[in-house]
Structure 1
Amino acid sequence: MAFGSFSGNRSAAPMAEINVIPLVDIMLVLLVIFIITAPLLTNAVKIDLPKASSEPNVTQVDNVQLAIDADGQLYWDGEKIDRATLLVRLHDAAQRQPEPELHLRADHDTRYEVIAEVMSEAGKAGLTKIAFVTDPSPSPAP
């Protein structure tokens, strides 16, 4: 497979052979690379995770129910209150021993900003046990 020759016999026909040796060399190099790197990609850490069952939490006697409706109105144990009263009651609750849990019930359409502000104020007042109360019934499919 010579590209040129010194003989005087020159033919005008084009060369019809395809040189596949470089293609085979590249494919073999890629095959070796994939053989080496494939086991590295599938390596996983084997850990034994603890088993846990989900059971309803038993509500402690010392808890405060704080509800927020869709309009941002606050309810302390079912009583309608304003922001200033909330701050006073949060500080009073933080002083009690043992510290009560704050159970936060927010309407589905309540703005996140209102919930974040209430949680921030509870943290500033000193309440460290804040829980979100959810409805255990399954939600309807959209």
Structure 2
Amino acid sequence: MASISSNDEEITGINITPMVDVILVLLVIFMVTANFLQKESININLPKAEQADPNIAESVQVAIMKNGEILHEGKEITGENLFKILNRDSKIKPNMRLTLSADSGLNYGKVTELMGVIRKAGVTRIALSVKKG
């Protein structure tokens, strides 16, 4: 009677080429999607302070650039549109928190004017963004 398996040799090596191919494909996918997840940064020269608030990420971000341009969550906006958006959002979330970033070279009057628009929209919790140092 013939044996069922005539090939009783030991396996001496494992072919890892398919595993390397899969890992390389995953690496390429992560590299491509990482570019889409990157948050745009705003170049503002913030004033320095001894202590900074660690909870800035949990608030709405508003910035005023040196040239007077207003940004809401990184997108350029007019003061009137900012008022409308904040007025709507403050009614939905009454304890909404807003972080205002202003360039250190900006006129103080521009900052207080923008703070007035923010307060008029119903936002009472305003933090000023500073650079720890």
Structure 1 stretches of 4+ moved >2 Å: 54-58, 96-99
Higher strand share: 2
Check the 8 A contact 1:62/1:99 in 2, yes or no: no
- Work out whether 1:136 is the aligned partner of 2:129: no
Higher helix share: 2
**SS in structure 1 at match of 2:114:** helix
For 2:110 and 2:56, how far apart are their aligned partners in 1? 26
For 1:104 and 1:55, how far apart are their aligned partners in 2? 16
| Residue type of the alignment partner of 1:86 | L
How far the C-alpha of 1:132 sits from its partner, in A, is 0.4
Q: Which has the higher contact order (CA 8 A, sep 6+)?
A: 2
| Residue type of the alignment partner of 1:131 | A
- Within a 5 Å distance, the mapping from 1:30-49 to structure 2 comes to none
For 2:126 and 2:91, how far apart are their aligned partners in 1? 15
- Work out whether 1:102 is the aligned partner of 2:98: yes
* CA separation of 1:95 and 1:76: change in aligned 2, threshold 3 A: same
Check the 8 A contact 1:65/1:102 in 2, yes or no: yes
TM-score for the superposition, normalised by structure 1: 0.53
Structure 2 runs not aligned, ≥5 long: 1-49
- Within a 5 Å distance, the mapping from 1:1-142 to structure 2 comes to 57-59=53-55, 62-137=58-133
Q: How many residues align?
A: 84
Check the 8 A contact 2:64/2:70 in 1, yes or no: yes
For 1:55 and 1:83, how far apart are their aligned partners in 2? 29
Moved more, 60-69 or 108-117: 60-69
Greater C-alpha Rg:
1
Check the 8 A contact 2:97/2:125 in 1, yes or no: yes
Structure 1 runs not aligned, ≥5 long: 1-53, 138-142
